[in-house]
Structures are given as C-alpha cells and as structure tokens.
C-alpha cells in the first residue's frame, strides 16, 4: 500500500495504482482526459490530466505516473488549472465547432471539458483552421470526421489491442495529423462501433444512430444484450417508446467496456414489422377476452406438452415448469440460434439464456425429438417464445393441430402454426433475469412500453395455471417462488429481486 496526499487529503491505495485512478478516488471525479481509458493501454497523448507533484519541477500527466509513497499531489492548483485550459485550447485550435450537426453534442468530451476547464475566448479565426475530410464512411457501421478528431488514439489502440485488426492509424504530422484507415482496408471488424463509444469527441459516429436523435432527448435503462450467451451489460437509450441505440455498460467480469456490432442491432427486432401485436386465433385478430375464451376451450383437458425457449427470462422458464406440472416439458430446439463466435465477446450460442434453461430444469430436444414429442402429445401444446416451428420437422408435426397455443413476440413460423397466438413482451419491454454462459445471473429492466396489446409473459402464463391460487401476483412474488425452488442451485446470498449491478455468479461471489 502507498500513502499519498491529494489536494490536502490523505489517501491509501495499492502499490502500482496509477496516479489517475488515485486522483479519481480522492477527488470523487476524474481528472480531465481524452486518451485515458480503463480497458486500453496508456498512451499519454492528450496531456489533459496534468497534475502538480511536489518535488517534480514540471507538471506530470497522472495517467502515466504510478503512485509513490509520500507523494504530495495538487490537482486543483492555479498551475494545473492553467495547464489544462491551455491544453484544451490547443485541442480546439482546429476543431470545426460544428456542434449543431454533430451527433456527439450533449455527451462530448470537448463540450464538457470546455465548460468545466476552458471558458476562454478563442484566438483562432475560423478561416485559419486546418480543414480536413468530413462525413467519410469508413466501414459498414462507422463514419469518420477528421476535423473533429483530437488525436487521442483511443480508436487506434482499440483496433490494435482488443480486436487486433489494426485498421486505424494516425497519418501525417503536426496540425495535419489525422486518423485514417490503412490503405485498402475498411473499419469492418465485428466490434467497430466500440470506437464510436470511446471516441471522446464526434470524430467517429455510428451510421445506425447518425442523426436519429439528439442524445439529450434519450432516456437510459440498464439492460442485458439478448444477442448471445455472453450477456453483455448494456444501456438501452430510448425515447417515446422507441429504442434508438444500445451502448455497453462497463462490467470487467463480463464484457469490459465493449459489445459487438451485431449485439447493438438486436434492438431492431423489438420494432420489427412482423411483431405479434394482437392475439391471433387461426390467423385472425381477436380481443384478449375472446382469446381467453378460445384458450379455455383448447386447454380444457390441460396441456400435454410445454415447450420453452432459451430466449426467455429465468422467471418465465420456472413458471413454465410450474405450468407443465406432469405434462411433457421441453426447453425448445437444441442447437437453434448457433452462429460463429470468437474469443473476444461473441458466443456461438446466440441465445441469452440457455444456461437459464439448465438452471430451471428444462432440457432441450433436437428437431426430430421435439417433433416426436409434438406427435405424441395427446392434448394441448403450449409453446413459449423462440420459433421451434422454424424447423421443418416440428412444423410438420404441428400442421393440422388445433390445440397449439403460442406465447411469443413475432409472427413467424410458430405463430403461423399455432391455433392461438398470444402476444408477449420482448426483453426490452419487461423485466427479468438472464443467466449467461458463465452461469452469471444478470437482471434487465423494462425500457419501453409494450406495443399493441402485448402483455408481460408471466401474466399470460400465470393465467394458464390450473390452480389460480398459485398464480404470481407480481414480479417480486414470482421471483420469491423461483428463489425458493432453485435454492439448492443458487448461493444463499443471492436476492433475485435485487441482483447487484453487473450480476452475480449462480454460485455466489468467490
């Protein structure tokens, strides 16, 4: 441990801590910075985080300094204030100040730091600024504006260190230095939009989000990416019931600060054209009241087969098992939603909750076995989520049956095969828990309202319970039931209703 004094207050940090982190602890806020990033190497190029260390003749950058025993540091002295203001002024010399058309405005490092540390009058005439290329499409997801760049090199380091693809570099020197793509390449790695996230200014913008919304109009909800079994922690940015973008939330245990480009676009499915918005009885839109009538008729003799899916929340899976009772139970199609994974974040398993199926005690079946179960069912069949009828075998087995009930979100194969299709909620429209590939329980919250007449799945499933006295009255009650039932598999410290930010391993924290 090293004891040091920062701005007059004594602080003790572990040896090897960077002065930047120590200052953040002591001050309660970061030093001004562009190039420092907790999940990238130290570059020390922006020179904004300069602090005064007693005994050192010149100011030193905190990010590239390691704490030493007995250090006396000043971060708010007049010398430091003046230095960061002048460095900021240098960064802004050639900045076009085109905030009105810049997507970063509102969450921009230059704007925030100018308001906090700058507030000087510019001495550079607009005509003296060095002009560079604007609105350059450099990849399938990213647009580059070279004028706005402050050359912090975060994006270059990201492509070198995280994806190890090295598409980006800094070319030329002096005030003509600029970020560029290596000749003959484009920024097309599977994680390219992370460069947009870490860009502290508006030099890199996302093509998907570009000009869709000003950022100050967005509201944020913490959630989990449903794109694969990794379960990256994300923030859903939405406004007026519409999701505009997903941004990664930092969680060193799961996704660091990153997420993949594919995962970022998973929100598109929430607003898909083929959403199931109303109950359908044999393809005809009916009211919920009528749907309940049809349901009572179809399942008069109880369900003979209940099929879940790895796309649903842990609570819903557990409820499904209660609903099945003695009926045959399946976790859905084994091997569905498989794609190519990599060793950065993407899992080959493109479902968010396959481990949840195992935890809730639902076994998956391959297409032939599932079709066999469907054929063997002497009574109604309930399919919850997923799209098992996308497999031709299962679709053939379901064909002609008038007793298949589907609770799902899209008008796809299973909705078409079912006699009664009931609209459920997508992940962003409900709260729940996903269990990722590390057996980590992570909670997601409801971000947007459910469209049309879609309802929360647990309410729909709860109404089907033969014993209505056991139907959950709320999410809290439902989670209490899950916790009581899964107690042997879960660490006793886990409170399903209050999972910690960043999730918790099913076995508890080591």
Partner 1 sequence: MSFEGLPKGSTDKRRSLLESMYLLEVVRGLGVTARHLLRNIFHTGDMPTMQYPEEKRVYGDRFRGRHRLMQREDGTPRCVACQMCSTYCPADCIYITAAEHPDPAIEKYPATFDIDLLRCVYCGLCEEACPCDAIRLDTGIYEIAADHRDKFIVDKEFLLRNTTDGTR
Q: Are 267 and 235 in contact (CB under 8 A)?
A: no
- Map residue 280 onto helix, strand or coil: strand
The minimum distance between CB 238 and partner 1, in angstroms, equals 17
The binding site for partner 1 (CB under 8 A) comprises: 98-101, 105, 133-136, 210-212, 214, 216-217
The Cα 508–Cα 267 span in angstroms is 30
The Cα 2–Cα 4 span in angstroms is 6
The minimum distance between CB 244 and partner 1, in angstroms, equals 12
- Map residue 439 onto helix, strand or coil: coil
Structure tokens at 333: 């199609």
Structure tokens at 264: 């970022």
The Cα 105–Cα 122 span in angstroms is 19
The minimum distance between CB 137 and partner 1, in angstroms, equals 10
Sheet with 404-408: strands ordered across: 284-285, 280-281, 420-423, 404-408, 380-384, 303-307, 328-330
Nearest to 411 by CA among 291, 227, 277, 226: 277
> Is 123 exposed, middle or buried, given 0-12, 13-18 or 19+ CB atoms closer than 10 A?
exposed
The residue among 213 and 292 lying less far from partner 1, judged by its C-beta, is 213
The residue among 137 and 449 lying less far from partner 1, judged by its C-beta, is 137
The residue among 82 and 210 lying less far from partner 1, judged by its C-beta, is 210
Exposure string (b/e) for 47-63, b if CB count within 10 Å is 16 or more? bbbbbbbeeeeebbbbb
Q: Which residues does 410 contact at the CB level (< 8 Å), separation at least 6?
A: 269, 272, 274, 275, 276, 387
The minimum distance between CB 146 and partner 1, in angstroms, equals 11
Tell me which DSSP letter residue 462 carries.
H
The residue among 201 and 381 lying less far from partner 1, judged by its C-beta, is 201
The residue among 206 and 223 lying less far from partner 1, judged by its C-beta, is 206
The minimum distance between CB 34 and partner 1, in angstroms, equals 23
The residue among 81 and 210 lying less far from partner 1, judged by its C-beta, is 210
The residue among 133 and 363 lying less far from partner 1, judged by its C-beta, is 133
Nearest to 378 by CA among 306, 326, 304: 304
The minimum distance between CB 248 and partner 1, in angstroms, equals 25
Place of tokens 């969680």: 251
The Cα 161–Cα 105 span in angstroms is 28
Residue 273, phi then psi, degrees to nearest 5: -60, -35
- Would you tell me the crossing angle of helices 475-485 and 457-464 to the nearest 10 degrees? 70
Q: Are 200 and 110 in contact (CB under 8 A)?
A: yes
The residue among 136 and 253 lying less far from partner 1, judged by its C-beta, is 136
The residue among 211 and 493 lying less far from partner 1, judged by its C-beta, is 211
The minimum distance between CB 179 and partner 1, in angstroms, equals 16
The residue among 97 and 265 lying less far from partner 1, judged by its C-beta, is 97
The minimum distance between CB 186 and partner 1, in angstroms, equals 18
Find the farthest-apart pair of alpha carbons in the chain and give their distance in angstroms, rounded. 86
The minimum distance between CB 145 and partner 1, in angstroms, equals 9
The minimum distance between CB 130 and partner 1, in angstroms, equals 16
Sheet with 136-137: strands ordered across: 136-137, 142-144, 204-206
Structure tokens at 8: 């007059």
Dihedral over Cα of 472, 474, 477, 478: its sign:
positive
Judged by phi (left if over 0) then psi (alpha if -120 to 50, else beta), residue 294 lies in alpha
Place of tokens 């989990």: 224
The Cα 470–Cα 482 span in angstroms is 13
The residue among 133 and 445 lying less far from partner 1, judged by its C-beta, is 133
The minimum distance between CB 135 and partner 1, in angstroms, equals 4
The Cα 354–Cα 351 span in angstroms is 6
Strands 380-384 and 303-307: parallel
The minimum distance between CB 118 and partner 1, in angstroms, equals 18
The minimum distance between CB 91 and partner 1, in angstroms, equals 21
The residue among 133 and 487 lying less far from partner 1, judged by its C-beta, is 133
The residue among 210 and 297 lying less far from partner 1, judged by its C-beta, is 210
Give the number of other Cβ atoms within 10 Å of residue 297's Cβ. Answer: 12
């Amino acid at each position: 441990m090293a004891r040091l004094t920062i701005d007059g207050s004594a602080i003790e940090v572990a040896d090897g801590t960077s002065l930047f982190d120590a200052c953040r602890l002591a001050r309660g806020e970061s030093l001004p910075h562009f190039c420092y990033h907790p999940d990238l190497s130290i570059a020390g190029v922006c020179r904004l985080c300069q602090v005064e260390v007693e005994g050192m003749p010149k100011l030193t950058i905190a990010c590239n300094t390691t704490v030493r025993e007995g250090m006396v540091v000043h971060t708010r002295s007049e010398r430091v204030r003046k230095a960061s203001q002048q460095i900021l002024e240098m960064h802004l010399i050639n900045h076009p100040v085109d905030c009105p058309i810049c997507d970063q405005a509102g969450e921009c490092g230059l704007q925030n730091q100018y308001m906090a540390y700058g507030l000087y009058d510019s001495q550079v005439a607009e005509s003296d600024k060095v002009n560079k290329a604007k609105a350059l499409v450099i990849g399938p997801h990213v647009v580059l504006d070279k004028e706005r760049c402050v050359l912090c090199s975060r994006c270059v380091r990201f492509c070198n260190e995280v994806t190890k693809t090295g598409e980006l570099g800094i070319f030329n020197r002096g005030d003509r230095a600029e970020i560029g793509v290596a000749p003959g390449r484009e920024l097309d790695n599977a994680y390219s939009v992370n460069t947009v996230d870490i860009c502290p200014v508006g030099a890199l913008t996302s093509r998907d989000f570009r000009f869709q919304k000003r950022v100050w109009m967005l509201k944020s909800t913490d959630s989990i990416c449903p794109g694969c079994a990794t379960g990256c922690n994300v923030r859903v940015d939405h406004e007026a019931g519409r999701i505009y973008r997903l941004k990664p939330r930092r969680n060193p245990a799961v996704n660091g600060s990153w997420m993949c480009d594919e995962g970022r676009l998973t929100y598109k499915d929430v607003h898909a054209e083929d959403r199931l918005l109303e109950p359908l009885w044999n393809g005809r839109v009916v009211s919920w009241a009528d749907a309940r009538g049809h349901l009572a008729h179809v399942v008069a003799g109880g369900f003979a087969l209940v099929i879940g899916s790895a796309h649903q929340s842990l609570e819903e899976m557990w409820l499904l098992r209660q609903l099945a009772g003695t009926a045959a139970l399946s976790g859905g199609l084994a091997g569905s939603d498989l794609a190519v994974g990599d060793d950065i974040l993407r899992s080959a398993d493109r479902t968010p909750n396959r481990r949840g199926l195992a935890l809730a005690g639902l076994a998956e079946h391959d297409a032939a076995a599932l079709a066999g179960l469907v054929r063997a069912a002497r009574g109604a069949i309930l399919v919850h989520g997923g799209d098992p009828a996308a497999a031709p075998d299962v679709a053939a087995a379901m064909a002609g049956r008038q007793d298949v009930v589907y609770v799902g979100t899209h008008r796809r194969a299973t909705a078409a095969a079912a006699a009664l299709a009931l609209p459920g909620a997508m992940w962003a429209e409900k709260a729940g828990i996903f269990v990722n590939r590390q057996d980590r329980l992570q909670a997601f919250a409801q971000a947007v309202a459910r469209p049309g007449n879609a309802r929360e799945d647990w309410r729909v499933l709860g109404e089907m319970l033969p014993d209505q006295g056991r139907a959950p009255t709320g999410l809290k009650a439902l989670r209490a039931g899950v916790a009581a039932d899964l107690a042997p598999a879960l660490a006793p410290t886990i409170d399903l209703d209050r999972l910690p930010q960043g999730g918790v391993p099913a076995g508890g924290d080591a």
